[in-house]
Amino acid sequence: MAKSRSQIQKEYRERKKLKEGKSYLKKESARVIKYYVPAAELPTKERKKRNARAKVHNQTHRRKRNAAALVLNESVTESSGYESISSPLVVKLPLVGRRKGGKKKNTRALARAHGAMKRLKVEKEKLLKKLKAKSRQLKRLSTKINSGTRRPSEPCTPNSKTELELRELDLTPRRRERVKRKSMLKNVVLHEISEARASTSSMYERQSIARLVSGKLSKKYRLNLAISKGTGICRKTLKKVSTKRIRPDRRICAVKQLALDVEDFMSREDNSRMQPGKGDAIKISKGRKEANNHSYKLSC
């Protein structure tokens, strides 16, 4: 059976230890110290893993030390020094395989515990998501039931809207007072805008109201639909708003020029009110003008 890469590296390190001895151990210790990261600089997760490994290593080391001390105590026998008994020498050596087996056992148990913790964390996250989804679903259902029990004849005033919103939020008394004024302000402003729009039928005035309530921020945060529901203004009208100017642009120069042209036209000598551009006046004595009587000529 082919050896794994870890087995090959392990055998290589063993050969280096036998060949170089203490110099190899010094190099290895220097290499480990070079790449060592202090526990204070490690993340919480990595620090906990290192502490767990160190705990297992220390427990194993104490177990070995106690076992070696016990072997030494058992091997020492009391004797008076005057007599000797021939008996075979028994040497108790620690079982290397059993030591490694215990270490592997602890490591595997620790790995299983970490795996179980990870699985439990994943299950916990899933259950929390389900709990949040069910709580939101229950809240929507209770809101729907509460809004459905409202009587149609109940007046829809800003105060009643505010009270309904506060009941749906289910706030504490202290937070209720903080939120009430803000919600009341919003409902009152929307009510005033809707009343102003309903009280006029002029297209110019309605467009002016739309310019006031709509703009770049309402489009940026997608609030045109909410404004349309609160004020009754068409959403397309709010979407078409491109400026905040209330008055339309007046072409003052063009208006003045038109007034001058009309004044010049009306002050001409050959001006005719019935037939513009036709000479409708004649000169009499002393340079005075007199209008022709075309109707009299036609009657003759």
pLDDT tens sequence across 220-238: 888 888 888 888 888 888 8
* Contact criterion met (CB below 8 Å) for 180 and 166: yes
pTM above 0.85, yes or no: no
Residue by residue, DSSP assigns 70-86 as HHHHHH-----SS----
CA-to-CA distance for 128 and 271, rounded, in angstroms?
A: 91
Q: Is the pLDDT of residue 297 over 50?
A: no
For residue 299, pLDDT over 50 is answered with: no
For 242-268, how does the pLDDT look when each residue is reduced to its tens digit (9 = 90+)?
Answer: 777 776 666 778 888 898 988 887 776
Most confident of 87-91, 127-131, 255-259: 127-131
Provide the pLDDT for residue 64. Answer: 92
> What string of DSSP letters covers 263-282?
HHHHT-TT--SSSTTS--EE
d(CA 82, CA 66): 33
Give pLDDT, residue 101: 56
pLDDT in tens, 130-177: 999 999 999 888 877 776 555 545 557 888 888 888 887 878 888 888
Residue 114's nearest CA partner among 50, 59, 63, 42 is 50
Q: Give the pLDDT of residue 56.
A: 94
Task: Calculate the alpha carbon distances from 222 to 17, 181, 195, 234 in Å.
Answer: 72, 24, 23, 15
Average pLDDT, rounded, for the chain: 79
Structure tokens, 165: 């919103």
Q: Which residue has the higher pLDDT, 281 or 175?
A: 175
Opening angle at CA 141, ends 135 and 147, nearest 5: 135
For residue 290, list its beta bridge partners: 282
Distances (CA, A) of 145 to 139, 149, 266, 297: 10, 6, 75, 89
Cα separation, 206 vs 285, whole angstroms: 62
Which carries the bigger pLDDT value, residue 286 or residue 57?
57
E strand or H helix that includes residue 65: helix 44-75
Provide the pLDDT for residue 249.
Answer: 60
282 has which bridge partners?
290
**pLDDT band (50, 70, 90) for residue 298:** very low
Q: What angle do CA 137, 142, 145 make, to 5 degrees?
A: 125
Look at the chain and count its residues: 300
Q: Cα–Cα distance between 274 and 293 in angstroms, integer?
A: 12
Which pLDDT value is given to residue 288?
47
Q: Distance between alpha carbon 135 and the CA centroid of its chain, in Å? A: 20
Residue 113's identity, in one-letter code, is A
Type and span of the H or E element at 66? helix 44-75
Residue 219: predicted pLDDT: 86
Q: List the end-to-end C-alpha distance of the chain, in Å, as a whole number.
A: 139
Q: Rounded to whole angstroms, how far apart are CA atoms 126 and 132?
A: 10
Q: Which is more confidently placed, 282 or 197?
A: 197
The whole-number pLDDT of residue 158 equals 85
Report the 10 Å Cβ neighbour count for 23.
Answer: 10
